[in-house]
Amino acid sequence: MPTFAPSSTAAIVVAAGRGLRAGGDVPKQFTAWRGKPLIRHSVEALVRAGIARIVVVIPKDAEAIAEGALAGLDVEFVTGGATRQDSVAAGLARLTDSPVGAVLIHDAARPGLAPAVIARLLEALDASPGAVPVLAVVDSLYREGEGPVSRDALHRIQTPQAFRFADIFAAHRAWQGATDAGDDAEVARAAGLEVALVAGDEALRKVTYAADLEAAARHPRTGFGYDVHRLAAGEALWLCGVKIEHSKGLAGHSDADVALHALTDAVLGAAAAGDIGDHFPPSDPQWRGASSDRFLAHAVALAREAGYGVGHVDLTIVCEAPRIGPHKAAMRARLAQIIGIEANAVSVKATTTERLGFTGRGEGIAAQAVATLVPWD
The domain made up of 6-216 has a fold known as Spore Coat Polysaccharide Biosynthesis Protein SpsA; Chain A (3.90.550)
Report the DSSP pairing between strands 155-157 and 102-107. unpaired
Give the span between the Cα atoms of 12 and 358, in whole angstroms. Answer: 66
Q: How many C-beta atoms lie closer than 10 Å to residue 191's C-beta?
A: 17
Q: Give yes or no for a contact between 161 and 184, defined as CB atoms under 8 angstroms apart.
A: yes
pLDDT of amino acid 1: 54
3-state helix, strand, coil in the chain (%, to 5): 35, 25, 40
Q: What count of other Cβ atoms lies within 10 Å of the Cβ of residue 21?
A: 11
Q: Specify the pLDDT at position 376.
A: 76
- Which pLDDT tens digit goes with each residue over 318-350? 999 999 999 999 999 999 999 999 999 999 999
Three-state DSSP class for residue 173 = helix
Specify whether the CB–CB gap between 112 and 179 falls below 8 A: no
DSSP 108-143: TT-----HHHHHHHHHHTTT-SEEEEEEE--S-EEE
What pLDDT score does 22 carry?
Answer: 47
Q: What is the pLDDT of residue 21?
A: 45
- In this structure, are residues 332 and 342 in contact, taking their beta carbons and an 8 Å threshold? no
CATH superfamily membership of 221-375: 2-C-methyl-D-erythritol 2,4-cyclodiphosphate synthase (3.30.1330.50)
DSSP one-letter string for 55-79:
EEEE-TT-HHHHHHHTTTS--EEEE
Report pLDDT digits (tens) over 38-70.
Answer: 999 999 999 999 999 999 999 999 999 999 999
Q: Which pLDDT score is estimated for 284? A: 87
| Amino acid type, 257 | D
Going from the C-alpha of 230 to that of each of 76, 173, 250, the distances in angstroms are 66, 81, 6
**How many whole angstroms separate alpha carbon 237 and alpha carbon 361?**
17
CA dist 28 and 37 (Å) reads: 9
Return the amino acid letter for 50.
G
Confidence at residue 217, expressed as pLDDT on a 0 to 100 scale: 58
Letter for the amino acid at 171? A
Counting as low any pLDDT under 50, the low residues of the chain are 21-23
The pLDDT, as a whole number, for residue 306 is: 86
User: Which neighbouring-strand residues pair with 142?
Assistant: 148
Where do the domains of the chain lie? 6-216, 221-375
By CB atoms closer than 10 A (0-12, 13-18, 19+), residue 222 is: middle
| β-pairing verdict for 76-79 and 53-58 | parallel
